[in-house]
């Protein structure tokens, strides 16, 4: 499992429109697509961004922590919140508000 410092805006932006596997609480896995990466605010010390994932309509995730697996990014956990339902998918959001490691 990756250290949270690994999960940066740049890493997610490199993997926009790719598929991640979500491991649900019951152990079932299913694909979600990283559909949007949005920078919210950046300063010298913090990075704030939002991720939107799209999932098939045949499985709904309630708000909570989930393990995600990705070919390039490996395995990590995210707190995901369902934000709306479209005609073809559910959309989930994960928000990041993280300190940027300072160079010494």
Helix (H) or strand (E) holding 12: helix 9-14
List the chain domain ranges. 4-99
Q: Please identify, in words, the CATH class of the domain defined by 4-99.
A: mainly beta
pTM, whole model, 2 decimals? 0.88
With beta carbons less than 8 A apart as the criterion, state whether 66 and 51 touch.
no
CA 55 – CA 60 distance, rounded (Å): 8
If DSSP codes are grouped into helix, strand and coil, which group holds residue 82?
A: strand
In this predicted model, which residue has the larger pLDDT, 48 or 4?
A: 48
Q: Tens digit of pLDDT for each residue in 58-100?
A: 988 899 999 999 999 999 999 999 999 999 999 999 999 887 7
Q: Tens digit of pLDDT for each residue in 14-43?
A: 999 999 999 987 888 999 999 999 998 777
């Amino acid at each position: 499992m990756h250290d949270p410092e690994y999960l940066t805006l740049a890493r997610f932006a490199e993997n926009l429109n790719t598929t991640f596997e979500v491991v649900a609480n019951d152990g079932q896995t299913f694909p979600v697509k990283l559909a949007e990466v949005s920078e919210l605010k950046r300063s010298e010390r913090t990075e704030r961004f939002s991720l939107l994932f799209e999932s098939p309509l045949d499985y709904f995730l309630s708000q909570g922590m989930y393990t995600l697996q990705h070919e390039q990014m490996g395995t990590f956990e995210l707190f995901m919140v369902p934000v709306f339902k479209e005609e073809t998918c559910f959309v989930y959001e994960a928000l990041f508000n993280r300190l940027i490691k300072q160079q010494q």
